[in-house]
Amino acid sequence: MPVNADYYKSLLTKLSKRENLKKVYVFWGKEEYLMDVAVERICTVLSAQKVIVDGSSKNLVEEITSNLQGGLFHVEKVLIVKYVEKPEKVLKFIDLFLKTGGHFIIILRDWKPQQLPKGVETIYFDSLDDGSFRIWLRDKIDKMGKKISEQKFEYLAKRLPRDLKIALNELKKLELISYGQKEIKNGDFEVISDYQDFYVSEVLESILNYEESAPLKFMRVLDNIEQPTYITAGFINYFLKELQSERKRGRLSRGDILRLLLTITRVDAQLKSLPVDKRLLLLELFENLKINVG
């Protein structure tokens, strides 16, 4: 579930003391921006060189071994393994990392936690809760040196995704379009991308990953989205992409996806043509998806 900013303040305070640092970390979750902040904090505390290895590389063994710390006049390193597609291919190096000089951080997005050797600390990075996100957003706008009305701020807070890395990119676009202005205007928001599909995809990913936060995420989408049919359209787009994707679909077969698409399409048609309680209909659809997807 989304966490309060105090969670990350406490974490970064802990990582600011050398004696608290572990030799090997596994960072996992969705909030990549805050993972990067934590990595920078560790590197700064250790006065260490940051070395990034592509975890999806076909030459992963060579890339890791060539960057292991060694030699008489070695520079202290923090080896970060990112962009990991198959966690098991990277986690098998943990025993080697524990025996080798330096510090190591493995960054995973999708991972089912498992018991790891002593000396390894796992840290989950979830998205900020709504209140903390708004505080973060307000701080970023203040640092831009821009004024914004409360109404526009609320609109922006609802419009931006809770992924801080993506939100930062959108704020950079907003800063550029409003260059030379003291205040953010309505027309400036035209540069902000439409993340309605993103929000809806987050809900489905949460269901697929058995996350307890799935109902909360769905309610947030339901409360903030402009048109109910945007939700069904987002669901349809998600599953159409899954059909076209070459990646392994996990528990869902092609037939499963087609059946789900049929169900969603029927609800979409009802939303557009019948005098129904749209909120109730979407809640029923969500429960249906939880049963058939999760």
Q: Is the pLDDT of residue 52 over 70?
A: yes
What class does CATH assign to 5-125?
A: alpha beta
Kindly indicate the confidence band of residue 111, based on its pLDDT and cuts at 50, 70 and 90: confident
Quick one: pLDDT at residue 294?
Answer: 59
Quick one: pLDDT at residue 73?
Answer: 47
Same topology between domain 130-191 and domain 196-293: no
| pTM beyond cutoff 0.85 | no
Q: Does domain 196-293 have CATH number 1.20.272.10?
A: yes
* % of residues, the chain, pLDDT over 70: 94
Nearest Cα neighbor of 257 from 185, 96, 265 is: 265
pLDDT digits (tens, 9 = 90+) for 184-197: 998 898 888 766 66
pLDDT digits (tens, 9 = 90+) for 10-30: 999 999 999 999 999 999 988
Helices 254-273 and 278-293: crossing angle in degrees, nearest 10, is: 180
Which residue has better confidence, 230 or 176? 176
Q: Is the pLDDT of residue 140 over 80?
A: yes
Q: Is the pLDDT of residue 248 over 60?
A: no
For 17-22, the CB contacts below 8 A with 24+ separation are 17/45, 18/45, 18/46, 21/45, 21/46, 21/103, 22/103, 22/119, 22/120, 22/121
18/46 Cα distance (integer angstroms): 7
Quick one: pLDDT at residue 72?
Answer: 43
**CB-CB contact of 221 with 203 (8 Å):** yes
Q: What DSSP letter does each residue of 129-193 carry, written as one string?
A: PHHHHHHHHHHHHHHHT-B--HHHHHHHHHHS-S-HHHHHHHHHHHHHHTTT-SB--GGGGGGS-
* % of residues, the chain, pLDDT over 90: 40
Quick one: pLDDT at residue 97?
Answer: 93
What residues does each domain of the chain span?
Answer: 5-125, 130-191, 196-293
Quick one: pLDDT at residue 247?
Answer: 52
Instruction: Output the average pLDDT for the chain.
Output: 87
Q: Among 6-15, 190-199, 252-261, name the one with the lowest average pLDDT.
A: 190-199
87/63 Cα distance (integer angstroms): 16
Q: What is the CATH number of domain 130-191?
A: 1.10.8
